[in-house]
Structure 1
Amino acid sequence: MRPWKAAALVFGASGVVLMLEVLAGRLMAPYVGVSQETFTGIIGTVLAGIALGAAIGGSLADRHDPRTLIGPSLLIGGALTWASLPIVRILGPSVGSGAGAIVLLTAAAFLLPATVLSAVAPMVAKLQIGSLDESGSVVGRVSAAGTFGALAGTFLTGFVLVAALPSQWVVIVIGAVTIAAGLALTLRSPSRPQLSATAVALVLAAGLGAVLLPPPCDRETAYFCVRVEDDPARPTGRSLILDTTRHAYVDLDDPTHLEIRYVRLIAAVIDELPAGPLDAVHLGGGGLTVPGWLAAVRPGSSSTVLEIDPDLVDVARDDLGFDDDRTEVVIGDARLTMRDLPTDGVDVVVGDAFASTSVPWHLTTVEVVDEIDRLLRPGGVYVMNVIDGGPNRFARAQLATLAERFEHVAVIVPEGGVPEDRRVNQILIGSHEPIRTPSIGAGDGELVAGSAATAFIDGAAPLTDDFAPVDQLLMRG
């Protein structure tokens, strides 16, 4: 095999493996969410596949002619790439949550394609080694080609493809290219007929599964699997589902109708601010429910929404009926875009940015609270939505973080306290002025403030840019 052809094969096979690794998080997000646990499980499982593939491929290359193996390996690897789509969609709804579920789903869908495609490199290396005198340079050349392919696959997928195409079609395209390359090599090399027949059957089954099983999204953005669901009990009601969680509810005819408990609580906190129009900054847009409510109940109010996902804003406008010319949407990461906002410019900052069910860690720290404090006018309030339960370690640490910068903090928890068996929305409040007790609806919750808030924190350490293990704190136990 010519060196350029050998390099191209290893480059391509390794590139597909890393493309699958990047896409795995997006394909699995509707079922297991997006967190540090998700990416840890994916990276670890794919690395296991790479290691297994290298070991198995090297062993097979010593016992059989590699020319009979490379084509079928690509053919089967491409088919398994396709098969990852139906596997995720069939198993995803029933795997549950947590680290074990993430590893299980990743292994079921992506371990085999990573293993089979990673077996190509040692097969190619075997063909390239003519003598022991050149073995070092051959192994180095093959390893370099594989690494460059992995880099190209990572950058191309993460920076270009996920923003240009739905993940399903990226998987279908790279699977098709891999299958085509494998078929070409199989037809040109001596091969085992039974292996080729098995490969063809696998290709057909995987292809049908990839095409016929529909994705769980109405729309896939660069960050979320998005669904908009009608409310059968309220003809004008719409729910916004991002990955696994309902993030917003909007009544198309009545922006003052707040269906979701945590949104009602945020509104109750804002209602305690002085009468008249308010200026607000919202970290995260979601369905733009709170900006719409604020514009309706306090005419003349203005909102600046810092939203990282431009497609989500289009969903809010096209499918959820948002239309307010006094709301400015700034596209970009909230941590970065808030730097451009004026000091002492707003009355309230609403923190409602989520990746699945956890707040992105860089929006939880003392350093970002400093920046939020800079935006607030005297008497202003920071109100933040978090989801936690059981030991409640993240919520306690987050309130401790607010207490580092605000003289007064409080939290609204469900009536009866935080449940031990599930996670719930909790509303954290920080201000330099005493916090007025909001009018909380029956059954919505109770305010914990003053010495009770200190007891709630219970010695939890504040989060900082140097140490903010948000996803780990959210793990139960």
Structure 2
Amino acid sequence: MPGKLAAFLVFFASGAVLVLETVALRLVGPYVGVSLQVTSSVIGVALAAIAYGAWFGGWLADRFDPRRLVAGALVLAGIATAVTLPLVRLAGEALRGGAVPGILLLTMITIFVPALVLSAVPPMVVKLQLADLRRTGEVVGRLSSIGTLGAVTATLATGFVLVAALPSSVIMVGLAVSLAVAGVGVAVYLRQAPKTKVVAALAVLGVAGAALSVLAPNPCDVETAYHCAAVRVDPANPSGRVLFLNAAEHSYVDLKDPSHLQFAYTQWIGAVADLVKPRGERIDALHLGGGGFTVPRYVTATRPGSDNVVFEIDDRLIDLGERELAVREGPDLKAVAGDARMLIGGRADASADLVVGDAFGDLAVPWHLATKEMAQEIARVLRPNGIYAQNVIDYPPSRFIRAEVATVAAVFPHVALIAPPAAVDGKVGANFIIVASQQPLPLVALAEHLSDSSDEAVVVVFGAGLTDFIGGMQVLTDDFAPVDQLLILP
């Protein structure tokens, strides 16, 4: 095999594996989330496929003519890639949730077979390049280096360009077609025409994969750099819209009434906002996470003239809000695209009356927004009588929320917790709202306001009760914040 063709095949095959690995995170996210466990599963399964593929490819190369195998491997990998998309979407509905067995199985369906077949190509190519035993080290080292460069190039191109520009389905179909074309091209170049029956079988598989791709349900209206997003109409309210991110209900918006708060946790945040200043009086509010912009729209509607700034990491989510959720930017509502941890550093000291923490990666608060160092940044931004309200989701045994309360309490001297009684007792999972300030909180007024505005039973925990709830949990820091491990999904 000519050296340039060998280099191309190793570069291309290795790069295709990393395209699959990167896109796999987007394919499984709508069904099993985007937690650290999911990321670890994708990386682990991909590495296992690479290891077994290289071993199997080397074994085949010693027993059969690799020139007859390389082209077929590329075509087979293309078919496996094409079939992956419908298989994931069909299996994802059955494996939905964050259970570890479901995560591993769906990840294997997504990446294992095509990555294994592609990883068999480099050892076949190496076999064809070893014409001189005195240069085996040089040949193997060179091709190994080229394969690594292909993987690096594909990782950067997919993460920075492809995912931002194209839907995952287009990337997968494009990769499948590219692999098939490359396989046919190699077969023609090497004059290794496959048997007619083999061609017919591969053609049938390819057509079947394309048909399944068309019929498979797509859970996304919009694929952003971070989410599979969908907006659905509330059957009970024609102007109601529900925003789903990675298949989880994230926000509820009433297009006609921005002051309407449907979800209980948003009602609790609204009650906290009413403690900062009465309705009708302007406030300076900072929101860490936008989502459906429910609370920012509420502040704008109930407090005209407020300075209402939203830090939202997903710029396409901002576009979706403007297009379908009646988000209207103007003097009293400004959305800034970027990571809240980075953006808050540019915010002036004592510049906010209210900071709302409502940023989520799937169901978990991003770890770098849950640390003591982040809480210190929030305290710096708040005015002395300002209030921080942080939304947290957790499930029994409630380890994450207890650690997060301990973390916030390490920075703010006055802290309270709003939650359903059963969630405080560790019996059910729920939203929790942590309320913190440098000044004493008006707890009696908060409890009264919650009883009037909340649609479900809720308690305010503070003082000794809050200390008992924390129970000695460790404060989260930038050096140690195992959020995904603390949060156990049902």
Q: 1:390–1:418: 8 Å Cα contact kept in structure 2?
A: no
- Give the counterpart letter for 1:467 in structure 2: F
Q: 1:76–1:203: 8 Å Cα contact kept in structure 2?
A: no
Q: 1:72–1:196: 8 Å Cα contact kept in structure 2?
A: no
Establish whether residue 281 from structure 1 lines up as the match of residue 286 from structure 2.
yes
CA gap of 1:376–1:233, structure 2 versus 1, over 3 A, is same
**1:62 matched residue in structure 2:** 62
Q: 1:85–1:109: 8 Å Cα contact kept in structure 2?
A: yes
- 1:62-82 Cα offsets, whole Å, 9 max, x none, are 000001100010000011111
Please say which of residues 353-362 and 213-222 is displaced more in the overlay.
213-222
**1:306 matched residue in structure 2:** 311
**2:299 matched residue in structure 1:** 294
**2:182 matched residue in structure 1:** 181
* Counterpart selection for 2:422 from 398, 416, 437: 416
For 1:62-461, what aligned pairs fall within 5 Å after superposition? 62-95=62-95, 96-187=97-188, 188-191=191-194, 193-275=196-278, 276-325=281-330, 326-418=332-424, 423-437=429-443, 438=446, 439-440=449-450, 441-461=454-474
Give SS of 1:63's match: coil
- 1:374-418 Cα offsets, whole Å, 9 max, x none, are 110011111000110111111111111001100011111213334
Aligned partners of 2:441 and 2:303: how far apart in 1?
A: 20
- 1:74-104 Cα offsets, whole Å, 9 max, x none, are 0000111111101110000111322221111
CA gap of 1:422–1:141, structure 2 versus 1, over 3 A, is farther
1:208 Cα deviation from its structure 2 partner? 2.1
Give SS of 2:310's match: strand
- 1:86-137 Cα offsets, whole Å, 9 max, x none, are 1110000111322221111011121000000000000000100013222111
Establish whether residue 41 from structure 1 lines up as the match of residue 41 from structure 2.
yes
Q: 1:14–1:117: 8 Å Cα contact kept in structure 2?
A: yes
1:225 Cα deviation from its structure 2 partner? 0.8
- 1:331-377 Cα offsets, whole Å, 9 max, x none, are 11111111111110010100000111111111011111111101100
Q: 2:417–2:462: 8 Å Cα contact kept in structure 1?
A: yes
1:211 Cα deviation from its structure 2 partner? 3.4
Structure 1, unaligned runs of 5 or more: none
Give SS of 1:247's match: strand
Q: 1:219–1:226: 8 Å Cα contact kept in structure 2?
A: yes
TM-score, normalisation: structure 1: 0.97
1:184 Cα deviation from its structure 2 partner? 2.1
CA gap of 1:463–1:295, structure 2 versus 1, over 3 A, is same
Please say which of residues 149-158 and 211-220 is displaced more in the overlay.
211-220
**1:22 matched residue in structure 2:** 22
Aligned partners of 1:117 and 1:293: how far apart in 2?
A: 52
Q: 1:397–1:462: 8 Å Cα contact kept in structure 2?
A: yes
1:283 Cα deviation from its structure 2 partner? 0.2
Aligned partners of 1:317 and 1:130: how far apart in 2?
A: 62
* Counterpart selection for 2:485 from 447, 472, 475: 472
- Cα RMSD for the two superposed structures: 1.5
Aligned partners of 1:193 and 1:64: how far apart in 2?
A: 20
Aligned partners of 1:278 and 1:444: how far apart in 2?
A: 28
TM-score, normalisation: structure 2: 0.94
CA gap of 1:456–1:204, structure 2 versus 1, over 3 A, is same
Please say which of residues 307-316 and 156-165 is displaced more in the overlay.
307-316
- Give the counterpart letter for 2:284 in structure 1: D
Q: 1:366–1:402: 8 Å Cα contact kept in structure 2?
A: yes
Q: 1:411–1:426: 8 Å Cα contact kept in structure 2?
A: yes
Give SS of 1:236's match: strand
Please say which of residues 351-360 and 193-202 is displaced more in the overlay.
193-202
- Give the counterpart letter for 1:277 in structure 2: R
Q: 1:73–1:120: 8 Å Cα contact kept in structure 2?
A: yes
Aligned partners of 1:286 and 1:27: how far apart in 2?
A: 20
- Give the counterpart letter for 1:67 in structure 2: R
Give SS of 1:406's match: coil
Q: 1:72–1:199: 8 Å Cα contact kept in structure 2?
A: no
Q: 1:418–1:424: 8 Å Cα contact kept in structure 2?
A: no
Aligned partners of 1:179 and 1:53: how far apart in 2?
A: 18
Aligned partners of 1:364 and 1:416: how far apart in 2?
A: 24
- Give the counterpart letter for 2:2 in structure 1: R
Q: 2:13–2:121: 8 Å Cα contact kept in structure 1?
A: yes
Structure 2, unaligned runs of 5 or more: none
Aligned partners of 2:156 and 2:246: how far apart in 1?
A: 24
Give SS of 2:171's match: helix
Aligned partners of 1:190 and 1:58: how far apart in 2?
A: 22
Give SS of 1:69's match: helix
- 1:235-259 Cα offsets, whole Å, 9 max, x none, are 1101111112111111111111111
1:193 Cα deviation from its structure 2 partner? 5.0
